[in-house]
Amino acid sequence: GVGAFGQRVVGVGQGLGHGPVPALAVVVALAVGAAPQPRLGEHLLVELAGIADGRQVVYSLHVLDDIAEDGDIVEIFVNGTSYGRILLSNAGQDVLIPLPAGTNAQVHVLAVQDGGGGVTFGVTTSQGEIRSTVMPQGGSDDWSVTIQ
């Protein structure tokens, strides 16, 4: 039939008259083995409410490769929670972590991949700068921070 605007109308049980509908290949590019990206947190709305009313603060880590940009990867943990794996670069990357105000936090950095010559990283925070020793893959560095 013909619709109100001149378009062809196909009713139930009527074919389109063009033969079978061909299957289309859909390709979705997925990164295999990609490192998880650092995140603000899994409970974003609760964390934002806590930040707004002063119960939480955002602790910022600027993490970078402070020697040679050679493919080193580290994983950042704060109080036992992973905030993601980071491919270190000389430019660095910010990791934002909501934490309860007035508490201490334990930061643990795990050397996941050594790009060559040992894993080296630097971290800048509002409380200062930290530089790691040269770590083997699987090595780690730990420190405590007081959240104001």
Hey, is 51 helix, strand or coil? Answer: helix
Q: Which residues contact 127 (CB under 8 A, 6 or more apart)?
A: 145, 146
- Dump pLDDT digits (tens) for 25-34: 333 333 334 4
Using a pLDDT cut of 90, give the percent of the chain over it. 38
- Dump pLDDT digits (tens) for 105-115: 899 999 999 99
* pTM of structure: 0.66
In the chain, what is the straight-line distance between the N-terminal and C-terminal CA atoms, in Å? 73
Phi, psi of 81 (to 5 degrees): -100, 130
- Dump pLDDT digits (tens) for 15-28: 334 444 343 333 33
Q: Which residues contact 59 (CB under 8 A, 6 or more apart)?
A: 78, 96, 97, 98, 99, 105, 125, 145, 147
